[in-house]
Chain A
Amino acid sequence: NGSSSVNWPPEFRPGEPWKGYPNIDP
């Protein structure tokens, strides 16, 4: 669906927790 791709890729900002983590299956 379109909404998820708008936020892809989860942007990394130094000093801020990266938001992409939960999407990755361990």
Chain B
Amino acid sequence: STVVLVFQAPTLKMLQNRDSSSEFRFSIRRGDRVRVGEALGRWHD
């Protein structure tokens, strides 16, 4: 079985600068084993 997660990251900065990308950064790599509750990525407030 497989789970696909699609999400929009918080992008408040985009309101000021439309060319900037999101502050969201993945903290995983391909092939990593992840467990429930572990961070997939983070963003700055």
**A, B: real partners:** no
